[in-house]
Copies of this chain bind each other. A is one copy, B any other.
């Protein structure tokens, strides 16, 4: 922190996995911020984390937003609560960093963005698409801009986790996992997604509600064709890859980005390196940078750009097209569906 800076007093709504990580980062790893308030539906959970981190608790999200010792808010509560909290924070003139999604439906997301824009409050809202500050993704985007592969032609992405959670659904796979590619692919290419096509590979074990994996094809305005395979139950590790193939070469996030720093050789005649079990170790540095960039931005310091509410709306529209293709699929093959971003 620079001398003379008054630390930004931040409250965090939601103390689940993401909210807890954000709170710990704000309390221990971010310059220029102080964690002042926490709240959670489970009051005991909030209290326990508040004790650990030297913060106080508030009764609920709206109360936290209204506290005098809260200058800015992180929203990491249940998805259904995001839009109301974002609008409340914006109405209070307080900057808010909202975990994806902005809203549970495309229509609701559109309503939030319209409301923010009508009030001139867009600049107060940041969406938590952390890949935009993930060092590996930033390197990849910089490489593309520097012409490392010439003109991009094809993108291959994979979004794989270890196992599907208990209530996982086919649609949730799109809006919860694929949504990251819905944002990152056009961000990498600098070109919006115009059409989406859904395809069903052979189904892994899992409930009848869940088609896992899924293959999504994306067409961006520049003509690039993207494939993304999303597989919740990949077993072998959390694995986010991306390869961009151009007319002068190809570039990919290499294994280094999602595994250990070590190569181990052991008595079973194997050379091994480890995968992360979930997104937290993989994107730990991205989350730290996201929060630092957000706090720096509020302080008026130079900081990398983060995703806006409108970016969240656009990603939701891409997911909506993917769901539409899925619903129209015959024998596992969906049609190409145009992406329509509501006015």
Contact = CB atoms under 8 A, between A and B. Distances in A.
Nearest to A302: B28
Contacts of A160: 245
A266 B239 CA distance: 12
A29 B260 CA distance: 24
A248 B267 contact: yes
B270 A262 contact: no
Interface stretch (A111-119, A249-257, A313-321): A249-257
Contact of A202 (B9, B69, B151): B151
Contacts of A292: 28-29
Interface in A30-48: 30-36
A58 to B, nearest CB: 13
Interface residues of A, number: 99
A54 B277 CA distance: 41
A210 to B, nearest CB: 13
A201 B225 contact: yes
Nearest to A220: B202
Taking each of A222, A223, A239, A265, which has the highest tally of chain B beta carbons within 10 Å of its own beta carbon?
A265
Interface stretch (A87-95, A123-131, A132-140, A171-179): A132-140
Taking each of A151, A202, A301, which has the highest tally of chain B beta carbons within 10 Å of its own beta carbon?
A202
A23 B298 CA distance: 21
B152 A202 contact: yes
Interface string A70-104: 00000000000000000000000000000000000
Contact of A269 (B217, B236, B333): B236
A21 to B, nearest CB: 14
Given A202-B222, A292-B29, A336-B333, A264 B235 contact: no
A122 to B, nearest CB: 26
Contact of A151 (B5, B28, B152, B204): B204
Nearest to A55: B3
Interface stretch (A12-20, A180-188, A226-234, A304-312): A226-234
Nearest to A34: B1
Contacts of A29: 31, 292
Given A3-B69, A154-B231, A249-B267, 4 more contacts: A7-B7, A153-B204, A160-B245, A256-B261
